[in-house]
């Protein structure tokens, strides 16, 4: 490539990267500014006075004793919301991956009626916008007396993530040659040993890719949390942080610090696992 | 040591019957090759013996033990797959020792056996590598090592050399044969490559359309084919199969009489089989020759193939010395060696008589 072409290319890519990353950079910057600097004009990207007050307030509490008649400040619920989000994301991902892996394996290895249609019907189900079935699901949760419980969110997220996880794992298992399983059977392994010792290690990139997908979807969901939950202590992070906006004023410092803390776990996870994510999606693309 | 006895074995996939009431005995310690074209049922037969498919009817015995209801792991067999089927996440040592591992063999004993096998196959330096870090030939050896490590009663091999290049295939043919002679384990080997079958086997089982066509030594299936299919399938270049007539006890090919002893009751229409090596070039008008015109000439190294058209769309190939010159459309004659003629009944395909020794 000629140097000037490379220079233009890098300039364009750099500009795109900056535009894409700007909201995150702005959130980090705002979260580290004192309140008076947040609204100063002209705005500053790099804080003049760095403060960790918003983070301290979220992680260690506001230290404000509730006045009679006044509720606990929303920021004091942050760790609870964080824990809720972890529980529902990990819980729904564990269920989705377990069910999707076993179902996809049976779809590729055993013969039964409707076997070919299942993955396609599943992916079709995934394409239906979740806003269409969130209210019927809410009514179901009411009937089951599960509203305002973490279990209702876990079940809701399973409904969104399972079809795609199933399709991804199905595409992955189709690429795993059946001969290696037959070789293990001839070697004397039981079906369970074959699945555990031969198939699962081979399918690990697919499982990791599906897990990351499921974690991100359930971690970032707002709609289900908004509809299913109502008590402050049961909210997931995405819904909880909206309480930093009280109708008249927004605490941008807390809001941005929450955003950064919410992004952090997924960013770390993604950083560690992105190699597997690409391999997982690649396997589906080639064989699917 | 164990023989393999197959009786009345049938296998259907839906309405497609792949094996048709097949009978076969693989004698103990022998290297037996199942040879046939794609779709003839040879791999299905091997998979039934391995326990990877369930028979529709019939039985399989290893010695006096009936095995057709046993899972593969309880048959004490080892199988080498066409794709090698190595476990991709395990290193070579664990690949070789996996069969011992699932059978609960103590680690020290396992290591010892893996080491011994690796030494024989000269793959000791590869033990810590993963399959994807190996060449095709090395993978083939590891697959063989995995089969050898358990000292099975029977080796089953499904076209194990077909993914190798020609040179390596030739080397591995010799090595496989050598291992068999050293170990003496009953081996069933599937291939569509007749060169492999001829060079490695004690017995060749020629199959077509789910039926055994002939069982014999490589010399027998080559020299005395039982029917038209075997005659046409075995041998490169293939045997000439020429339509002919029997009139008053005389064999007539394309109008030319050939002095060949015929059995009493030979059908009026027959097919004469003669290998290109047993056809010589002659001058038109010579006795016991068939006249024709040169249709194609091919040099195949030390020999030359001359295809002579003796009647419309009927050609006879002669394999002659490379020094023999012939030009297209030359008027010539071919002389089939009367001592190497095979007469077949075209209605049944079966051999009627043969003059071959």
Check residue A122 and give its pLDDT: 86
Residue of B nearest to A194 (CA): B102
Q: Which of A102-111, B85-94, B257-266, B303-312 has the lowest mean pLDDT?
A: B257-266
Who has greater pLDDT, B76 or B259? B76
Opening angle at CA B219, ends B214 and B221, nearest 5 = 20
Check residue A65 and give its pLDDT: 56
Task: Give the count of beta carbons closer than 10 Å to the beta carbon of residue A191.
Answer: 13
pLDDT > 60? residue B93: yes
Q: What is the ipTM of this complex?
A: 0.85
pLDDT > 70? residue B233: yes
Residue of B nearest to A201 (CA): B89
Residues 6+ apart with CB under 8 A from B119: none
Q: Which of A90-94, A123-127, B45-49, B311-315 has the lowest mean pLDDT?
A: A123-127
Q: Residue A137 and residue A224: Cα distance in Å, rounded?
A: 9
Residue of A nearest to B50 (CA): A186
Residue of A nearest to B154 (CA): A186
For residue B275, give the nearest of B242, B310, B322 by alpha carbon.
B242
pTM, full prediction? 0.80
Per residue of chain A (288 residues), what is the pLDDT tens digit?
A: 788 999 999 999 999 999 999 999 999 999 999 888 888 888 888 888 888 988 988 888 766 655 555 567 787 888 999 999 999 999 999 999 999 999 999 999 888 888 888 888 888 888 888 888 899 999 999 999 999 999 999 999 999 999 999 999 998 898 888 999 999 999 999 989 999 999 988 888 889 889 988 999 999 999 999 999 989 999 999 999 888 887 777 888 888 999 999 999 888 888 888 776 666 554 443 332
| Radius of gyration (C-alpha) of chain B in whole angstroms | 24
Check residue B224 and give its pLDDT: 94
Task: Give the count of beta carbons closer than 10 Å to the beta carbon of residue A68.
Answer: 4
Q: Which of B113-122, B198-207, B259-268, B332-341 has the lowest mean pLDDT?
A: B259-268
Opening angle at CA B336, ends B335 and B340, nearest 5 = 150
Asked whether the beta carbons of A76 and A243 are under 8 A apart, the reply is: no
Q: Which two tokens stand for residue B350?
A: 């079966």
Domain residue extents for chain A:
3-51, 76-282
pLDDT, tens digit, for every residue of B105-164? 999 999 999 999 998 888 999 999 999 899 988 998 999 999 989 889 999 999 998 888
Q: Residue A146 and residue B228: Cα distance in Å, rounded?
A: 76
For residue A179, give the nearest of B148, B39, B81 by alpha carbon.
B81
Check residue B155 and give its pLDDT: 94
> In this complex, is the C-beta atom of B96 within 8 Å of any C-beta atom belonging to chain A?
no
Of B73, B79, B89, the CB nearest to A189: B73
Asked whether the beta carbons of A122 and A110 are under 8 A apart, the reply is: no
Check residue B250 and give its pLDDT: 87
Q: Containing H/E element for B273?
A: strand B269-274
Q: Which residues of A touch B98 (CB under 8 A)?
A: 184, 187, 189
Tokens 């199969």 belong to: B241
Q: Residue A236 and residue A225: Cα distance in Å, rounded?
A: 6
What's the CATH code, domain A76-282?
Answer: 1.10.3720.10
For residue A159, give the nearest of A244, A237, A224, A101 by alpha carbon.
A224
pLDDT > 70? residue B280: yes
Burial of A231 (0-12, 13-18, 19+ CB in 10 A): exposed
Does A183 contact B102 at a Cβ distance shorter than 8 Å? no
Task: Give the count of beta carbons closer than 10 Å to the beta carbon of residue A274.
Answer: 13
Give the best residue of A186, A194, A198, A276 to mutate against chain B (max B CB count within 10 A).
Answer: A186
For residue B210, give the nearest of B343, B40, B69, B68 by alpha carbon.
B40
Q: Which residues of B touch A189 (CB under 8 A)?
A: 73, 98, 102
Q: Residue A237 and residue A285: Cα distance in Å, rounded?
A: 34
CA B19 to chain centre: 17
């Amino acid at each position: 490539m000629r140097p000037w072409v490379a220079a233009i290319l890098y300039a364009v890519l750099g500009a795109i990267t900056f535009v894409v990353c700007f909201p995150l950079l702005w959130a980090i910057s705002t979260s580290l500014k004192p309140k008076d600097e947040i609204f100063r004009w002209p705005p500053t990207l790099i804080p003049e006075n760095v403060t960790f007050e918003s983070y301290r307030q979220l992680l260690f509490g506001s230290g404000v004793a509730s006045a009679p008649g006044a509720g606990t400040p929303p920021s004091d619920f942050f760790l609870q919301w964080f824990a809720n989000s972890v529980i529902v994301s990990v819980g729904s991902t564990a269920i989705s991956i377990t069910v999707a892996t076993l179902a996809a394996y049976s779809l590729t290895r055993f013969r039964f009626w409707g076997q070919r249609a299942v993955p396609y019907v599943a992916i079709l189900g995934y394409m239906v916008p979740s806003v269409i079935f969130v209210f019927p699901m809410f009514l179901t949760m009411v009937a089951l007396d599960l509203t305002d419980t973490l279990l209702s969110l876990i079940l809701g997220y399973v409904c969104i993530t399972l079809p795609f996880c199933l399709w991804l794992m199905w595409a992955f298992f189709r690429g795993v040659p059946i001969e290696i399983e037959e070789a293990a059977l001839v070697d004397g392994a039981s079906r369970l040993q074959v699945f555990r010792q031969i198939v699962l290690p081979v399918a690990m990139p697919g499982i990791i890719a599906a897990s990351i997908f499921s974690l991100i979807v359930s971690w970032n969901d707002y709609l289900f949390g908004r509809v299913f939950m109502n008590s402050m202590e049961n909210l997931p992070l995405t819904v909880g942080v909206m309480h930093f906006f009280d109708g008249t004023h927004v605490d941008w410092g807390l809001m941005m610090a929450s955003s950064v803390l919410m992004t952090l776990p997924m960013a770390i996870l993604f950083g560690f696992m992105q190699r597997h994510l690409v391999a997982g999606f690649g396997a589906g693309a080639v064989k699917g | 040591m164990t023989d393999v006895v197959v009786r009345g074995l049938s296998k259907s996939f839906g309405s497609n019957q792949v094996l048709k009431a097949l009978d076969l005995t693989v004698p103990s310690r022998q290297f037996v090759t199942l040879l046939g074209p794609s779709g003839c049922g040879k791999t299905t037969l091997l998979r039934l013996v391995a326990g990877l498919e369930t028979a529709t009817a019939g039985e399989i015995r290893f010695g006096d033990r009936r095995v057709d209801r046993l899972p593969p792991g309880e048959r004490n067999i080892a199988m080498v797959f066409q794709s090698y089927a190595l476990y991709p996440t395990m290193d070579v040592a664990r690949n070789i020792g996996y069969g011992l591992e699932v059978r609960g063999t103590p680690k020290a004993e396992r290591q010892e056996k893996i080491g011994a096998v690796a030494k024989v196959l000269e793959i000791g330096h590869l033990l810590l590598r993963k399959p994807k870090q190996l060449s095709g030939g090395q993978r083939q050896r590891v697959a063989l090592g995995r089969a050898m490590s358990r000292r099975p009663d029977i080796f089953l091999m499904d076209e194990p050399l077909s993914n190798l290049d020609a040179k390596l295939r030739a080397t591995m043919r010799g090595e496989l044969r050598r291992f068999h002679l050293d170990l003496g384990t009953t081996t069933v080997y599937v291939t569509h490559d007749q060169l492999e079958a001829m060079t490695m086997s004690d017995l060749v089982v020629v199959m077509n359309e789910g039926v055994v066509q002939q069982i014999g030594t490589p010399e027998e299936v080559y020299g005395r084919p039982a029917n038209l299919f075997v005659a046409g399938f075995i041998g490169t270049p293939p045997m000439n199969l020429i339509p002919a007539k029997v009139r008053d006890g005389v064999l007539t090919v394309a109008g030319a009489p050939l002095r060949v002893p015929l059995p009493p009751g030979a059908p009026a229409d027959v097919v004469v089989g003669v290998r290109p090596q047993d056809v010589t070039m002659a001058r038109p008008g010579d006795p016991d020759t068939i006249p024709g015109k040169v249709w194609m000439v091919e040099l195949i190294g030390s020999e030359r193939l001359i295809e002579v058209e003796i009647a419309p769309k009927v050609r006879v190939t002669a394999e002659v010395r490379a020094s023999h010159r012939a030009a297209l459309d030359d008027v010539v004659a071919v002389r089939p060696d009367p001592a190497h003629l095979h007469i077949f009944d075209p209605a049944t395909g079966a051999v009627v008589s043969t003059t071959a020794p």
